[in-house]
Amino acid sequence: MSRRLFAFVLLSFLFSSAAFAGFDEGRAAYDKGRWIQAIINLRPAAEAGDARAMILLGNMYMEGHGVGQDTKEAFGLYHTAALKENTDGMVAVATLYQTGNGVPANTPLAVGWFERAARLGDMDAALVYAIHMYQGSHGKDYDIKPDHEASYRWFKIVALHSNNKKQVAAAQFSADKIAKSLTKDEVIQGDREVANWKPEMPADIGPNPEVKFIADYEKKHGGMSATPDAAKPDDKKDGQAANKAPEEKPAAEKKTDEKPAASDKKPDEAKLPADKKAGNKTDDKKSDDETGVDDDMPSK
């Protein structure tokens, strides 16, 4: 190995190790509510491209821990993590698009990000996506038709693959209700697809929802090149969202988890489970009927 190549490999290793060390120390401080210390360690890690650090910093901006509360900055951090194929970032971005918190509301983009995270194997996203597919959504510039077959499949996938017992029960309950509105052949086909389902790789899914959104926009408007406002806040390079110097302030110690923080605003189009506010995952405290389909479910 040449000296130049050896030096490059060594520097790469040292840089990677330093980034991970910064994250680990930042995460420990974050868990203890030592916000200033968390910022000191997490910010360099985020700037180096660590999506996990971006999520934690996003949570801090979302709730104002150690920094001035800034939902737009939080969205930027979550979005940069999502572009790195981090599913927690995707769920946070989807939720904020759904609620219009920190970014203009955009239901098609919300559904698109939930779907992408679900296909990558995130069961929380899969549950919300199943609800969207059951309900459908209609707006001024979009019309997402209900798809009960797809909804049935995703509820069954959650019931089979989720590690959250309450979530599993709610998903199975919903799938059983939907099955009554499907034909026998549709149920058999759905069960066959569920049995063969496994998480996909990002390259197999294709472009992210915003790339598709812009392509559809230009196609609809005769090739006119225009970026909808809802996609503009996302145009930050890796880690750039973390460059903003925070207005650091002391805060009461409060332990939160690594998942994206909750937003305050409720979704307009679909009922989101309580454990999916800006990407947070809960620990089996939700009742079955909160995420299940209503008892008086309409037939397909």
Give the model confidence (pLDDT) of 74-107 as tens digits: 999 999 999 999 999 999 999 999 999 999 999 9
What is the distance in angstroms between the CA of the first residue and the CA of the last residue of the chain? 65
Helix (H, G, I), strand (E, B) or coil at 72: helix
CA distance 224 to 235: 19
Nearest to 136 by CA among 118, 158, 123, 151: 151
CB 91 within 8 A of CB 110: no
Instruction: State pLDDT tens for residues 111-138.
Output: 999 999 999 999 999 999 999 999 999 9
Query: Please, what is the average pLDDT of the chain?
Result: 79
16 pLDDT above the threshold of 60: no
Predicted confidence (pLDDT) per residue in 228-277, tens digit: 444 444 444 444 444 444 444 444 444 444 555 544 444 444 444 434 44
Q: Which residues sit opposite 144 in a β-bridge?
A: 137
Looking at the chain, the whole-number percentage of residues with pLDDT higher than 90 is 62
Segment 195-203 shows an average pLDDT of: 96
Residue 222: pLDDT over 90: no
| Whether CATH 1.25.40.10 fits 3-291 | yes
Instruction: Tell me the C-alpha to C-alpha distance, in Å, between residue 141 and each of 126, 132, 216, 218.
Output: 25, 17, 12, 14
Give the span between the Cα atoms of 35 and 7, in whole angstroms: 36
Surface-to-core class of residue 141, CB atoms within 10 Å of its CB (0-12 exposed, 13-18 middle, 19+ buried):
exposed
Extract the tokens encoding 163: 């590690």
Kindly indicate the confidence band of residue 11, based on its pLDDT and cuts at 50, 70 and 90.
very low
C-alpha distances (whole Å) from 2 to each of 13, 15, 145 are 17, 20, 60
pTM of the predicted structure, to 2 decimals: 0.71
The three-point CA angle 79-83-85 to 5° equals: 115
Point out which residues pair with 137 in neighbouring strands: 144
Work out the percent of the chain whose per-residue pLDDT is above 70. 67
